[in-house]
Amino acid sequence: MELHKLRRVYIEFASIVFRDGFLDNQYTLLQQLQDESEPKFVLQVGTLFLEDSEKLLNELRSILDQQDVDFEKLDAFVCKLTGSSASIGAKRVKDVCMAFHDCCKKGNKEGCLKCLQQLAAEYRLVKRKLETLFKMETQILAAGGSVPLLSQ
Amino acid sequence: MSSPRGGDKERGRDGERQIHVLAVDDSPVDRAVIAKLLRSSKYRVTAVDSVKKALELLGTEPNVNMIITDYSMPEMTGYELLKRVKESPTLREIPVVIMSSENDPDKINRCLEEGAEDFLLKPVRPSDVSRLCGRMRS
């Protein structure tokens, strides 16, 4: 696909991702931080986020599998995911984390289980969006172009 | 750690001594983002993933102009790091900034009362970093 088309498809896809709230302007900020010294910064941080989130979700599942849930430990992991999702701009994941945090504070196991289910679903969705964005960004750069900056 | 330690003062391209910021966060994502934000403002950054490593570095590297630390970390928290720094005669002048994803007024007040320079909510933004510029230890 020629560069002009690649950029257009990228912008169209990204606009929907932003419109539907999967990503917010924090992602744009990360794009703006990318420079010659770290030309793959967004890809690196995004990949870190996906890897780290899988680990955190596994930790959350493991804690909630216990008969006696350690809500403090659970909340600690939820806070980690809140921070990293905020840092990458994964807004919907962050929003579920905040609801999850409230359930942890109240010691509400059922609420936590529902939040975990929602969180896993939102994570799967944003993972697909990010992977598609990264693939397109790589294609644009390989074609000699620059990645358009996105915004809400 | 993402930056070499050294007894000699690090200098930027124009020969000016670079401001050295120690960033502490156990989240690899947040650590990468805060380090990049700081480097984009031309600071020299050392990023570590625990308070233990931060204290080890502070014991050997005297030229730290600011510490920016996450609040919630396993083993030792950012609050505990803050207390250790403020209790130390050699470290107490280093400004300490706390970061957190949680907007908890009690937590914020506790940190400020303990001598934190500032308390930032994640995600940290360039405007937050700009605000810290004038508060680095000289």
CA dist A6 and A50 (Å) reads 24
- For residue B11, the model assigns a pLDDT of 59
Which residue is listed with tokens 């936590």? A112
Q: Which two tokens stand for residue A4?
A: 């002009």
- Give every strand in the sheet of B44-48, ordered side by side: B44-48, B20-24, B66-70, B96-100, B118-121
- For residue A43, the model assigns a pLDDT of 94
Q: Average pLDDT per run of 10 along chain B, which is 138 residues long?
A: 39 68 97 96 95 96 91 95 96 95 92 95 92 76
Q: A49 and A88 in contact (C-beta within 8 Å)?
A: yes
**A41 chain-B contacts, CB cut-off 8 A:** 32, 36
Q: Which residue of B has its CA nearest to A78?
A: B101
Residue A84 has pLDDT above 90, yes or no: yes
Residue A30 has pLDDT above 60, yes or no: yes
- For residue B135, the model assigns a pLDDT of 74
Q: What is the DSSP string of B78-101?
A: HHHHHHHHHH-TTTTTS-EEEEES
- For residue B9, the model assigns a pLDDT of 44
pLDDT class for A73, splitting at 50, 70, 90?
A: very high
Which residue in A50, A51, A80 has the most chain B C-beta atoms within 10 A of its own C-beta, making it the best mutation to test that interface?
Answer: A80
- For residue B61, the model assigns a pLDDT of 83
Q: What angle do CA B74, A100, A84 make, to 5 degrees?
A: 55
| ipTM value > 0.85 | yes
Give the tens place of pLDDT for each residue, A103-146.
999 999 999 999 999 999 999 999 999 999 999 999 998 999 88
Is the minimum CB–CB distance between B39 and chain A shorter than 8 Å?
yes
- For residue B5, the model assigns a pLDDT of 33
Nearest to B29 among A37, A48, A79 (CB): A48
CA B29 to chain centre: 16
Could you tell me the maximum CA-CA distance found in chain B, to the nearest angstrom? 44
Contacts 24+ apart (CB under 8 A), A28-34: A28/A89, A28/A149, A28/A150, A28/A151, A29/A89, A29/B123, A29/B125, A29/B126, A30/A88, A30/A89, A30/B33, A31/A147, A31/A149, A31/A150, A32/A149, A33/B36, A33/B37, A33/B40
